[in-house]
Amino acid sequence: MYLVVGLGNPEKKYFNTPHNMGFVAADGLATKLGAEFNKAECKAVTAHGKVNGVKVIIAKPVTYMNLSGEAVGELIRKYKVEKGNLIVVYDDADIPLGKLRIRAQGSAGSHNGMKNIVQHLGTEDFARVRIGIGKDTQMARIDYVLSQIPDEDKALLNPALADAADALNDFVHGVAIDQVMQKYNGK
């Protein structure tokens, strides 16, 4: 079984913000797998699919970003997901706009949603796909990540979001995280 978690904020006003790129990538994977987000469970909305007979759960926590670990922890325990079969996708303001960074493990960095997941899981040992949203701006970071994405930024983000969905799809198809990293990092 695989668990893919996209991070974001659940209210409609946040849908077109940099902080919701994890939700967008999760939606892209769900589309690829023909799965629909139609189940509310464990403080998340989930889509269930199968890849080669293996169950795949795609989750979008409804706890708001900073409490994402509550949903992830509950889903891990409910479905007894092995740590190597968890991958989290989220925005990262420390990576240039439109770039991807995939890692097998690592720190939460400055991302509060990831800090909360690490706290709830008690480990940093899980895969992650980080979608770069960083750019020069005079706005405070919190204001920037919750602002609407301008059209010129979408032109850079859309290819990264497509690659993120493809990377997640490779992962749930059993491609080793090291191979996924080689394929998508540096694009």
Q: Is the pLDDT of residue 168 over 90?
A: yes
Give the number of other CB atoms < 10 A from CB of residue 88: 25
Q: Please give the CATH topology (third level) of the domain spanning 2-184.
A: Rossmann fold (3.40.50)
120 tagged catalytic: no
Is the pLDDT confidence value at 18 over 80? yes
123: tokens are: 């480990």
Q: What is the per-residue pLDDT for 1? A: 96
Cα 123 from Cα 106, distance rounded (Å): 9
CA distance 15 to 21: 9
Asked if pLDDT for residue 187 goes beyond 80, the answer is no
Return the pLDDT at 59: 98
Whole-angstrom Cα distance, residue 56 to residue 168? 11
On the question of pLDDT at 162 being above 90, the answer is: yes
Please tell me the pTM assigned to this model. Answer: 0.95
pLDDT value of residue 111: 86
When pLDDT is cut at 50, 70 and 90, the band that residue 136 belongs to is confident
Each domain of the chain, given as residue ranges in start order, spans: 2-184
Residue range 27-38: mean pLDDT, rounded = 97
pLDDT for the residue numbered 109: 81
Q: What is the pLDDT of residue 107?
A: 86
* 150 Rama sector, left if φ>0, alpha if ψ -120 to 50, beta otherwise: beta
Q: What integer pLDDT is reported at residue 157 of this predicted model?
A: 96
What pLDDT, on the 0 to 100 scale, is given for residue 135? 83
Identified catalytic residue from 19, 111, 120, 173:
19
pLDDT at residue 122 is higher than 90: yes
Which tens digits make up the pLDDT trace of 70-113? 999 999 999 999 989 999 999 999 999 999 999 999 887 878 89
The whole-number pLDDT of residue 186 equals 75
User: What mean pLDDT, rounded, does the chain reach?
Assistant: 94
Average pLDDT over residues 15-21: 94
- Name beta bridge partners: 38: none
Q: Two tokens at 11?
A: 């209210």
